[in-house]
Amino acid sequence: MSLFSNHTTVDIDNPSSSLPTAQSRWQRNISSYPNHKPRHTKIPPWLINTASLIVMALLVLLSLSIGVADFSWSGIFHSLINHSANSDSSLMLVSRLPRTIAIILTGIAMAVAGMIIQVVLKNRFVEPSMVGATQSAALGLLVVSLFFPASALIIKMGVATIAAVFGMMLFMLLIHRIPPTDFLMIPLIGIVFGGIIDAITTFIAYQTETLQMLSVWQFGDFSSVLAGRYELLWFTGVLCIIAYIIADKLTIIGLGDNIALNLGISKRHVTWIGVGMVAMMSAVVVVTVGMIPFIGLIVPNIVSRIMGDKLRRSLPAVALLGASAVLLCDIIGRSIRYPFEIPVATVFGVVGTVIFLWLLLRAPAES
Amino acid sequence: MHSHSASTTADIDIPQLSSSTKPSRLWSVIAQHPKFIATIILLISAILFLTVNVHGHWDFALPLRGKKLLALMVVGYAIGVSTLLFQTLTHNPILTPSLLGFDSLYVLLQSLLVFFLGAISFTSLNLIAKFSLEIVLMFGASLLLFKLLFSKSSQDLTRLILVGVIFGVLFRSLSALIARLINPDDFVVVQSASYAQFNTVNPQLLGISLFICVVSALFIWRWRFKCDVLMLGKAQAINLGINYQRLAFGLLTVIAVLVATATALVGPVTFFGLLVCALTNRMARNMYHSERLILVSLVAMICLVLGQTVFEQVLGMAGLLSVVIELAGGLVFLALIFMSQRR
């Protein structure tokens, strides 16, 4: 081993070159919350929020009018005037509207969950699927479906939530010793950790011949959303409101342990509330539509680059942008090979990875 | 046991030990001769693989299993050696080509070929022509990926791995996207290429792969001493008279070809190479490539053959080997990271 251990790091050849300063500068920009000055203070938040609200409204209209079944807005208009149901309005109420609402709620939930976990772990490069939350939720869901197939949806969701909390606890134990300066190590470990949980889940599913059931949860997809099959997602809306209420406390946790102590915030309590909320949001999304990777990573990163990390100010923008992003990707997935449909998780897998790679690779250029 | 220990006392410098310390002595014998021990274990597992649970009709079972055995050994060689060389080239014991997305790149190329050619002309391509085309594409693409990964972020190991991992996710998502864009018949063709399968091995590919293995082994064996020098670091290697550009280019070619071969035969496996290289570095007496290249091939072959025997014949769950390998490899990866953190 002796020969190799000399070369475990690549930078051994130039130990004291420009690297340290470059890295710390990059870190100051990205992962340090104290004294964080947003770079574009000129645009007021209300303007950004109004603009993204308009974008979202346009996307909603587009999302409502795209689909395989024949549909016309004038039909809706007629049924509204006559107070009578026709095929257009029932299509709207049973399929199109539930689907669009589900997409909006999922986007909001995943983006806000990503923002919370990034603040709690003080790391810009994590999201619920990179701390083992979504994978653990799927594992818990699989186990409860195997042992108690007839149990109510709310019980399945509860078990998935508990599993997600356990998965995140295990992850936090794993990264306990990682120095906070090594901020890219945490997502790396998270990806491998998620892969290990995935492998265990696949193992169980293979043995019990439930791989097909599992693949429904592993690929986020809105094609099966109809009225009566998505309402659980409203719960994530409630969680987002709670997140907004405790936003200031979460922000203070993100500022660092000493500051939290000085300001009289119990770091432990708020951290656990944050972890629990992320677990619940991930579990609800996995139970109803399946995993959608990278939203929780991309959206908070973009928003905090523009607006900074004060959650009370940035959470509405995160929620709006998250909803718009998923709406856009779902519209792309539905129209790229019309009349067939591509799962939103696949579309986001491509779009999200490209943006994430850009975030990762463009970092050195800043310094 | 007695005759065995008598034959080995000649080349170990250990004084006569009392019978109470027999385990440690046995261990030292094993530690002194990892290659021979590994060969013996491999032979035993190969015999087990060929013979366990054969009920009559040997002339049917033996050729069938023999082909599969050969395929497993080819894959073991390709993954083990390519990972070891990649670690030498990058001076890093926690990297593997698969971790940086090289074999999902192969699957993506496969999907792209189906997408542009259509399944019918894809499957009716001459196998040798198709495979050489894939390898050329694979080599070009992995050269680009290598350039991108190692020019932009080579100072920062963590970022390099993270970027590589995300590239792997991107390639897989793109393959999945293409799989959805093509019609269902073509989809089946792509689907069969994108999962690790140790059960069904294409017999026609086996001949080509065997040929590739032999040719690559000749090259690698000629480079073994240069590789030893390369492990000292790029600057030292150049100082000591190694033509770095040429050697790195050659190594990268061999790695790309071997990754393509292994992926073509069984599909992508992320952590297997890492697993066997970690085991090899543990077992090897020194870090010379003449020792470790042989050992890593043997270890990888043992893992696959023995694992397949146990899973297929004893436990009766043939499809799970790749999942278990991923699980074990993932755990090894985490362990390696934490060990290097503590350092």
> Which residues in chain B touch residue A195, judged by CB atoms under 8 angstroms apart?
270, 326, 330
Nearest CA in chain B to A197: B327
Of A3, A13, A356, the CB nearest to B166: A356
Rounded to the nearest integer, the mean pLDDT of chain B is 80
Query: Which is nearest to A174 in space by CA: A182, A186, A163?
Result: A186
The amino acid at residue A363 is A
Q: Which of A203, A342, A361 sits opposite B180 (nearest CB)?
A: A342
Name the more confident of A20 and B158: B158
Show residues of chain A in contact with B162, CB under 8 Å: 125, 184, 187-188, 191, 360
Q: For residue B9, give the amino acid letter.
A: T
The average pLDDT across B246-259 equals 89
Q: Using CA atoms, how far apart are residues A169 and A222, in angstroms rounded to an integer?
A: 30
pLDDT value at position B46?
Answer: 87
Among A196, A291, A295, A335, most B C-beta atoms within 10 A, so best to mutate, is: A196
Taking CA–CA distances from A7, the nearest residue in chain B reads B91
pLDDT of residue B85: 93
What is the mean pLDDT of the segment spanning A98-107?
92
pLDDT at A32 over 60: no
When CB atoms are compared, the residue of A10, A12, A178 closest to B341 is A178
pLDDT confidence tier of residue B300, bands split at 50, 70 and 90: very high
- How far apart are alpha carbons B167 and B270 in whole angstroms? 13
Report how far apart the first and last C-alpha atoms of chain B are (Å, whole number): 40
Q: How far is CA A83 from CA A76, A80, B123, B146, in A?
A: 10, 5, 58, 64
Least confident of A146-160, B11-25, B232-246, B328-342: B11-25
Residues A18/A22/A23/A27 CA torsion (nearest 10 deg): 160
pLDDT at B332 over 80: yes
* More reliable by pLDDT, A186 or B317: A186
Of the pLDDT bands very low, low, confident and very high (cuts 50, 70, 90), residue A14 is very low
| B323:A342 CB<8 A | no
Backbone angles phi, psi at A308, to 5 degrees: 85, -170
Identity at A199, one-letter amino acid code: A
Q: What percent of chain A stands above pLDDT 90?
A: 29
Name the residue among A167, A165, A145, A356 with its Cα closest to residue A271: A165
- Give which of A150, A134, A155, A64 is closest to A282, Cα–Cα: A134
Q: Please answer yes or no on whether B270 and A195 come within 8 Å at the CB atom.
A: yes
Cα A241 → chain centroid: 16
Q: pLDDT category, B6, cuts 50, 70, 90?
A: very low
Average pLDDT for A13-24: 37
d(CA A156, CA A145): 7
Closest approach of chain A CAs to the CA of B269, in angstroms? 12
Residues A69-98: tens digit of each pLDDT: 777 777 777 777 777 777 777 777 778 888
- Give residue-wise pLDDT tens across range A189-235: 898 899 899 888 988 888 888 888 888 788 888 888 888 788 888 98
Top mean pLDDT of A119-123, A202-206, B212-216, B326-330 is at B212-216
pLDDT digits (tens, 9 = 90+) for B123-172: 777 777 877 888 888 888 888 888 877 775 556 777 778 888 888 889 98
Average pLDDT for B270-285? 86
